[in-house]
Amino acid sequence: MQAAPRSRREVKKETTRQRIIETGIRIFSARGIDAATVEEIAAAADVGKGTIYNYFAAKEDIVVAFMMDLEREIQRKALRLSESKQPLERLLTQFVKYHLRSKEPHHKFVRVLLGQMFMGGEAFLPRIVELQAATDPPLETLFTRLRERGLIRNDVPLADLILLFKTTQLGLTSLWVIEGPPWEHTYELAALQMKVFCQGIGKGERR
């Protein structure tokens, strides 16, 4: 079923939201999140300060929204790896490294996202739900295709595989944030963790 066309009001709201995000990220990148002000972002985006608060409770939420949009785009592109015929360990290692490398230009913004995630409490729960909605379907497709290729065990529920994989990714991302460039240890550990992970879920290559 084709989605109903959006109203002019909805289009205008989304355009305004996107302009605020793009302006905020540009200013944050140039001056830092702490130094930038909501007033400065409002002036540069040609909107009122109150308009920004209609969309975002705080300037940090602009960063979170940007990272959510980026995550959806990364997941969409990374899903193409699931069509690869590579061995299990290599495929999953590339999947994890692609996610991290795609975020390298936005290292400080990932730090803000994780900070909000770990310290935001119940107020951040809607964002967690939003993040899961972006990450779970591509991972479900990935592991379903791997199972169809006969590369992973059938006795582990798909939901458990996804949860374990996301937990591994979150740990690696946290280390990635702490370590900072050039992330040599993180990428080395990513390869090792995927090796161990695949030993647990794999059942031998079959083509």
Containing 38, the helix (H) or strand (E) segment is helix 38-45
The string of pLDDT tens digits covering residues 9-31 is 888 999 999 999 999 999 999 99
130-180 residue pLDDT tens: 889 989 999 999 999 999 999 999 999 999 999 999 999 999 999 999 999
Q: Is the predicted pLDDT of residue 207 greater than 50, yes or no?
A: no
Domain boundaries along the sequence of the chain: 1-56, 63-201
pLDDT digits (tens, 9 = 90+) for 36-78: 999 999 999 999 999 999 999 999 999 999 999 999 899 888 8
Second-level CATH architecture of 63-201 = Orthogonal Bundle (1.10)
Q: Which CATH architecture has domain 1-56?
A: Orthogonal Bundle (1.10)
Token pair belonging to 5: 């066309």
| Higher-scoring residue by pLDDT: 38, 205 | 38
